Homo-oligomer: A and B are copies of this chain.
């Protein structure tokens, strides 16, 4: 497609296309923030992004793709923001708990948005595997970096395994909270317990 802009890893097309994509994702986030998963209606997204319904489907082949892509963009922002900030805490467990709780609090400050994105993530099937994988990598890299902030320590297989288990627990806790089956406090507790079990050294 675009032969001029060869710098970007992902080819996002022309400026107009990039702009449309951005408008669509912005509209998605806005609607999700206001009314959660159910409020992200494809017709409403198209209208708010000033795009035809067919065009919306050309950019994102389903509501789930749309929401997972929005999640990916949000998560990348969070991850970048976190990268610059120094990580407080002496022990590994402390650092992981601090960072996870902070992130969780951030998500819980916009419950509707979190609900929409988490729901989409859980419902995504194989056709969204690429986006999902991207998010999973971001999470794992975030966790392992928190575990070994120096950066020069070699990551062991066990580190990665632990990061993965923590990610699983985090996701389960988030789903419990999003679906109204547990409170914010319980969510934090659940994560803390798991981290302490896994990082007791």
Contacts and interface: CB of A to CB of B under 8 A. Distances in A.
Main secondary structure of the interface of A (DSSP, over half): helix
Interface in A130-172: 132-133, 158, 161-162, 164-165, 167-169, 171-172
A189 B165 CA distance: 12
A183 to B, nearest CB: 12
A190 B172 contact: no
Interface string A20-59: 0000000000000000000000000000000000000000
A119 interface: yes
Interface residues of A, number: 29
A172 B125 CA distance: 13
A124 B118 CA distance: 12
A194 B165 CA distance: 6
A126 B179 contact: yes
